[in-house]
């Protein structure tokens, strides 16, 4: 395409030069009054172009970030790296999300296996196996709930020890009118600790009564109580630690004494955190056990009932539900990952391992590799001439006019963009091929070919006159000169106007318009 454009442009320029040469010859050889400049009509190439400037941009240029907040666990690319589409660039700490995906994958496999068995039919030995699986899962659920009861009881024991043994060693009359044994250089914090200790006494007393008779049936009420109480103890220990940091040293309250208290409180906080984690793990284990038992019971029921059409349809729905849950789990995991959306080059990487990343805040960037476009703004006076698919010749300021590149128009914005008070339309052109010389940000000079034909009759636009909506050209035949009406078309880049009718090849026109 580039060669064809160049060839036709060359022919058009030669044709324009021939027009001027003919005018020069007829200026001296013309007859009549001896002053006419004449041109003999001939068909030639017709090229219409629109010249604009623009800027080279990457075909794809994106900013990337995480969909949720968290601590960065790993960064796997740096600025300048070439990466393939789908490559992991960075990720947050996501052990829970990955475990969730594995759990949902396993659940889906169970549902699919149940569907397969249902469709194949059930043998007696399979029913026996299914019953044993239900019994196994019932035992597992009972054990999980027993462990959950123990986790609640351990949470109380740990909390009671942290408050009544650790904190109370530096609090006078802790159960009735708590007062710290040392002066705190923050009266508001001191009052907060003392008031919280008094309130905690009632909490511990009530909690002790509930855990004393706790069994599996009481778990629905005991779990939120335990979680809230552990959180309260944790907050109390945090405030107590802050108070120790502001303790005023005296003769009896030495640095060594305060340091000992700090060590004890830190140990108690660790124990509380461990109790919170244990309770959370026990809750998760119980939920998993419930899910496993429900699945095995459904499987047994299906085997015992035999395969009916409605049963198969119901199990197919279970499979779809499990697929949806897996898709959701994978979507949650994807929120912790930054992946390359296309093959290209990393332009920046601001994420750091161990740092906290905020949701929806870009921390990395990418551009497409080797595929570049030209962004140009075409004035409204020319926009009607341009269409998607038009070819163009491009030169870049960085390499001068001798280095030409080919491109084509790929999009024209339907809405205007006002630039310097002029209505323009954003247009994109795509380079025809990859070229290592092309770089984002370069200034481009573009000539868009909007019309290109051969065998067109064209004359200088200036010799056409117009009166009362009609257009005329002065034609010389022998010694006589007469005006002739013509119809015209487009105007070429050389300033020649296309003659659609009224003139024939070989006729002679006068180059200076009549008065």
CA distance 45 to 53: 25
CA angle 321, 322, 325 (to 5 degrees): 90
Same domain for 389 and 351, yes or no, is: no
* Residue 313 resides in a domain: no
Q: What is the pLDDT of residue 513?
A: 57
Same domain for 253 and 346, yes or no, is: no
Same domain for 85 and 24, yes or no, is: no
3-state secondary structure 69-117: CEEEEEECCCCCCEECCCCEEEEECCHHHHHHHHHHHHHHHHHHHHHHH
Same domain for 355 and 271, yes or no, is: no
Same domain for 184 and 281, yes or no, is: yes
Note down the domain range covering 296: 122-305
Same domain for 132 and 173, yes or no, is: yes
Work out the pLDDT band at 310, boundaries 50, 70, 90: confident
- Residue 309 sits at φ, ψ, to 5 deg, of -60, -40
Terminal alpha carbon distance of the chain: 44
* Residue 454 resides in a domain: yes
pLDDT in tens, 12-57: 443 443 333 333 333 333 344 556 788 888 898 888 889 999 999 9
> Is a pLDDT exceeding 50 seen at residue 504?
yes
CA distance 279 to 474: 102
Same domain for 282 and 199, yes or no, is: yes
CATH number at residue 400: 2.40.30.170
Centroid of chain to Cα 383: 32
Average pLDDT over residues 288-310: 85
> Is a pLDDT exceeding 50 seen at residue 498?
yes
* Residue 194 resides in a domain: yes
Lowest pLDDT segment from 169-173, 307-311, 434-438: 307-311
- Count of CB atoms within 10 A of residue 320's CB? 12
Please, which residues bridge with residue 418 across strands?
423
> Is a pLDDT exceeding 50 seen at residue 268?
yes
Same domain for 378 and 447, yes or no, is: yes
Q: What's the alpha-carbon Rg for the chain, to the nearest Å? A: 43
Same domain for 433 and 503, yes or no, is: yes
**Which residue would you say has higher pLDDT here, 449 or 32?**
449
Query: Which of the listed residues 328, 350, 366 is the one where a domain comes to its end?
Result: 366
* Residue 114 resides in a domain: no
Lowest pLDDT segment from 86-100, 101-115, 119-133, 378-392: 119-133
Among all chains, which residue has been given the structure tokens 């030209």?
374
Average pLDDT over residues 75-95: 93
CA distance 121 to 123: 7
> Is a pLDDT exceeding 80 seen at residue 121?
no
Number of domains the chain contains: 3
Average pLDDT over residues 476-485: 88
Strands 43-58 and 443-460: antiparallel
* Residue 102 resides in a domain: no
CA distance 251 to 263: 20
Helices vs strands, H then E, count in the chain: 8, 23
Q: How many CA atoms lie within 13 A of 139 on its CB side?
A: 5
Q: What is the pLDDT of residue 262?
A: 94
CB 504 within 8 A of CB 41: yes
Same domain for 361 and 387, yes or no, is: no
Average pLDDT over residues 184-206: 94
Question: Percent of the chain having pLDDT more than 90?
Answer: 64
Task: Write out the two tokens for 329.
Answer: 């789990």
Same domain for 408 and 503, yes or no, is: yes
Query: Which of the listed residues 305, 325, 358 is the one where a domain comes to its end?
Result: 305
CB 82 within 8 A of CB 369: yes
Conformation bin of residue 370: beta by default, left when phi > 0, alpha when psi is -120 to 50: left
> Is a pLDDT exceeding 70 seen at residue 172?
yes
In terms of Cβ atoms closer than 10 Å to its own Cβ (0-12, 13-18, 19+), residue 209 is exposed
> Is a pLDDT exceeding 50 seen at residue 412?
yes
CB 78 within 8 A of CB 346: yes
> Whole-prediction pTM value?
0.44
Q: Which of 478, 477, 468, 476 is nearest to 511 (CA)?
A: 476
Same domain for 82 and 158, yes or no, is: no
pLDDT in tens, 209-222: 999 999 999 999 99
**Which residue would you say has higher pLDDT here, 455 or 514?**
455
> Is a pLDDT exceeding 50 seen at residue 6?
no
Which range has the top average pLDDT, 28-42, 295-309, 459-473? 459-473
- Residue 23 sits at φ, ψ, to 5 deg, of -60, -40
> Is a pLDDT exceeding 60 seen at residue 4?
no
CB 99 within 8 A of CB 392: no
| CB contact set of 444 (below 8 Å; sequence gap of 6+) | 53, 54, 55, 56, 374, 376, 394, 395, 396, 397
CB 71 within 8 A of CB 91: no
Conformation bin of residue 392: beta by default, left when phi > 0, alpha when psi is -120 to 50: beta
Q: What is the pLDDT of residue 16?
A: 41
Q: How many CA atoms lie within 13 A of 309 on its CB side?
A: 0
Average pLDDT over residues 365-391: 89
**Which residue would you say has higher pLDDT here, 142 or 23?**
142
Round the average pLDDT of the chain to a whole number and report it: 87
Query: Which of the listed residues 314, 347, 366 is the one where a domain comes to its end?
Result: 366
Work out the pLDDT band at 399, boundaries 50, 70, 90: very high
Q: What is the pLDDT of residue 123?
A: 78
Q: What is the pLDDT of residue 515?
A: 42
Q: What is the pLDDT of residue 303?
A: 77
CA distance 394 to 447: 6
* Residue 312 resides in a domain: no
* Residue 175 resides in a domain: yes
* Residue 415 resides in a domain: yes
For 258-292, give the DSSP string.
Answer: HHHHHHHHHHHHHHHHHHHHHHHHHHHHHHHHHHH
Q: What is the pLDDT of residue 35?
A: 66
CATH number at residue 341: 2.40.50.100
CB 432 within 8 A of CB 424: no
């Amino acid at each position: 395409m580039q060669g064809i454009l160049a060839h036709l442009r060359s022919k058009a320029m030669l044709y324009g030069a021939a027009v001027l040469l003919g005018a020069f010859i007829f200026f001296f050889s013309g007859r009549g009054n001896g002053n006419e400049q004449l041109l003999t009509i001939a068909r030639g190439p017709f090229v219409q172009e629109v010249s604009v400037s623009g800027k080279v941009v990457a075909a794809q240029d994106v900013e990337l970030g995480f969909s949720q907040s968290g601590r960065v666990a790993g960064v796997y690319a740096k600025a300048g790296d070439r990466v393939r589409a789908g490559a992991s660039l960075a990720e947050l700490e996501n052990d829970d999300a990955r475990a969730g995906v594995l759990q949902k994958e396993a659940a889906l496999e169970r549902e699919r296996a149940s569907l397969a068995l249902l469709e194949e039919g059930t043998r007696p030995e399979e029913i026996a196996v299914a019953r044993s699986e239900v019994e196994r899962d019932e035992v597992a659920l009972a054990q999980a709930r027993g462990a959950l009861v123990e986790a609640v009881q351990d949470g109380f024991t740990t909390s009671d020890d942290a408050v009544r043994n650790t904190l109370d060693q530096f609090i006078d009359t802790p159960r009735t009118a708590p007062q710290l044994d040392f002066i705190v250089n923050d009266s508001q914090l001191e009052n907060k600790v003392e008031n919280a200790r008094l309130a905690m006494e009632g909490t511990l007393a009530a909690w002790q009564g509930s855990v004393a008779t706790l069994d599996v049936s009481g778990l629905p009420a005991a779990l939120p109580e335990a979680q809230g109480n552990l959180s309260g103890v944790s907050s109390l220990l945090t405030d107590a630690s802050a108070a120790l940091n502001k303790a005023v040293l005296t003769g009896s309250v030495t640095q060594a004494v305060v340091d000992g208290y700090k060590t004890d409180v830190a140990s108690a906080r660790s124990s509380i955190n461990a109790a919170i984690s244990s309770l959370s793990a026990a809750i998760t284990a119980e939920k998993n056990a419930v899910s496993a038992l429900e699945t095995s019971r459904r499987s047994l029921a299906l085997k015992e009932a035999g395969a009916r059409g409605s049963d198969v349809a119901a199990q197919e729905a279970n499979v779809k539900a499990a697929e949806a849950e897996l898709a959701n789990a994978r979507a949650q995991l994807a929120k912790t990952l930054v992946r390359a959306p296309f093959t290209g080059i990393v332009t920046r990487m601001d994420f750091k391992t161990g740092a906290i990343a905020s949701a929806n805040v870009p921390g990395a960037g990418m551009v497409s590799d080797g595929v570049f476009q030209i962004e140009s703004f075409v004035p409204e006076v020319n926009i009607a001439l341009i269409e998607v698919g038009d070819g163009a010749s491009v030169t870049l300021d960085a390499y001068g006019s001798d280095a030409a590149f080919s491109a084509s128009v790929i999009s024209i914005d339907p809405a205007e963009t006002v630039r310097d008070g002029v209505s323009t339309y954003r247009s994109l052109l795509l380079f025809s091929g990859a070229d290592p010389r092309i770089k984002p940000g370069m200034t481009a000079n573009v000539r868009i070919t909007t019309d290109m034909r051969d065998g067109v009759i064209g004359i200088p636009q200036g010799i056409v006159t117009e009166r009362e909506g009609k257009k005329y050209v002065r034609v010389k035949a022998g010694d006589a000169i007469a005006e002739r009406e013509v119809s015209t078309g487009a105007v070429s880049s050389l300033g020649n106007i296309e003659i659609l009718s009224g003139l024939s090849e070989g006729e002679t026109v006068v180059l200076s318009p009549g008065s």
